[in-house]
Amino acid sequence: MNMSKNLLELKNISAGYEGRSVLKDVSLSIEENDFLGIIGPNGGGKTTLLKIILGLLQPYKGTISFANNVDKGIGYMPQINNIDKQFPILVSEVVLSGLYASGLNKSEECLRVQELMQEMGLLEIANKAIGNLSGGQMQRVLLARAIANKPKLLVLDEPSTYVDKRFEAKFYEQLKEINKKTAIILVSHDVGTVISTVKNIACVNENLHFHAGNDVDSSWLEEHLACPFELVGHGKIPHRILKDHDD
Ligand code: ADP
């Protein structure tokens, strides 16, 4: 495999739960500075794909490979509604938790936390408990935590769910800035936001349909969001789709 710029490569992955495949024959590669938006219907397998990438679920079939220990430090921003807001932890402590296993000493950690809080506009709320944050603030805290270790790959699962629309544009601008140094995989149900933010698009609906560029038109969306399992009528197949295989 040519891993010169590839950070991550999935080949012919099938995966699921209790013997039932929810992902079938999924192939994908992520390169440095990629910004991939993953869309798809509910239950289509988007989160399952993230679990495979994060090493939280083992595939039934296929291979996954990472370059340069990328998998040792993937930045991950979970869905905001999966966070227990009753948990008694301060903003600064959440950001610090992103430096787990960073190898930094205490004063370096302190500096990095300060830097992140400054960057994300969190200094004023550093000592607030997470239970008292707005959706937009929580979003920035989780993003700061996810990028704390300067990951080569950042994975975000529906980062805008339950967040005030007013904060959204700023958040996606921040992601574009982060993307200058970090490859990003963004899962979102919000097709409009995905199209205006990412560089490439994949629709996950049991299979994965890749579109190079963010200029998908409504017929592509209709076709792939409406559950087709074969890639048809989509011009050239990009190099990173490895659809056909022998078994
Ligand atoms: P998406 O993120 O696109 O909404 P998911 O990857 O969460 O889709 O789910 C894909 C399918 O797998 C769904 O049918 C869902 O019910 C099922 N599923 C997800 N997690 C589990 C689990 N832990 N055990 C059994 N089935 C699951």
Band (pLDDT 50/70/90 cuts) for residue 61 is very high
Q: Is 162 exposed, middle or buried (0-12, 13-18, 19+ CB in 10 A)?
A: exposed
* Half-sphere exposure of residue 200: CA atoms within 13 angstroms, side-chain side: 22
Identify which of 13, 22, 52 to mutate to test ligand 1's pocket (most ligand atoms within 8 A of the CB): 22
CB of 40 within 6 A of ligand 1: the answer is yes
Q: Which of 28-37, 69-78, 136-145, 188-197 has the weakest average pLDDT?
A: 188-197
Identify which of 21, 23, 24, 47 to mutate to test ligand 1's pocket (most ligand atoms within 8 A of the CB): 47
Residue 228 pLDDT more than 80? no
Residue 75 pLDDT more than 70? yes
Q: What is the pLDDT of residue 36?
A: 97
Q: Which amino acid is at 99?
A: L
